[in-house]
Amino acid sequence: MENKVVFITGSAKRLGAYTAKFLHNLGYRIVLHCHHSVEQVEALSKQLNGKRADSVKWVQGNLCELEALNKIAQSAVDAFGRIDVLINNASAFYPTPLGDFVAQDWQALMGSNAQAPLFLIQKLQKQLAQNQGVVINMVDIHAQRPLSGHTIYCMAKAALVTLTQSLAQELAPDVRINGVAPGAILWPDTALPENEKNAILSQIPLCRLGCEKDISEAIAFLISAPYITGQILAVDGGRSIANPSVA
């Protein structure tokens, strides 16, 4: 794996950063990406390169700007001269109640969650095909069970599911494309009341919040599973099957 290169969007912090560390520990070289979080991505790059020299580089750019996507993709290829795995992790997430959202909300949510994955895959298709590559799209259990007040986000994730299933057929057999649909993994940065946390936990058969390692292990599995493509793997503690009527 020491020659294989993984490009992870939105990898300066939270789940993206953890995934980068996890895959780096498995021996992959990593291309990190950020938009605004330059300080964090520089620190992560320095940390990982301290463990294994010249194994991590980073690129910067706004995934919601169409004209920037080609530059971001090319910079990712130029980092090590190849791309073996693309992980579309970057995601805007916030509520958009009907009557309150504006065009900028549409551009941010659709741009990061659906538009960027599509155009990055198109730009990196040749590189991925040359290396029998893999794409992992970070989906969401709410792509199928929409979350009230988050219509645009849920639309974008539903589009990402369709993208995953459609391109898995179109790019086979040279490129495999799968998705990971996390359930409750990390509490949001804004504090949730205890009663809301308890309500969420009560819907999870495994009776606990998931963690970054749960998602990273699922990603690593899908990268290494040569006969799996076009699938969405729910990593949600059983929440989606225990109470399918609850978003």
- Please give the sequence-ordered ranges of beta strands (E in DSSP) within 46-175, or none if there are none: 56-60, 85-88, 134-138
Q: Which residues of 224-241 are buried (b: 16+ CB within 10 A; e: fewer)?
A: eeeeebeebbbbbbebbe
**Alpha-carbon 189 to chain mean position:** 18
DSSP string, 27-54: T-EEEEEESS-HHHHHHHHHHHHHHSTT
Is 153 catalytic? The answer is yes
Which residues pair with residue 216 across a beta bridge?
Answer: none
Burial of 185 (0-12, 13-18, 19+ CB in 10 A): middle
- Is the sign of the CA dihedral 108, 137, 214, 79 positive or negative? negative
CA dihedral 209, 214, 215, 218 (to 10 degrees): -140
What residues are labeled active site?
153
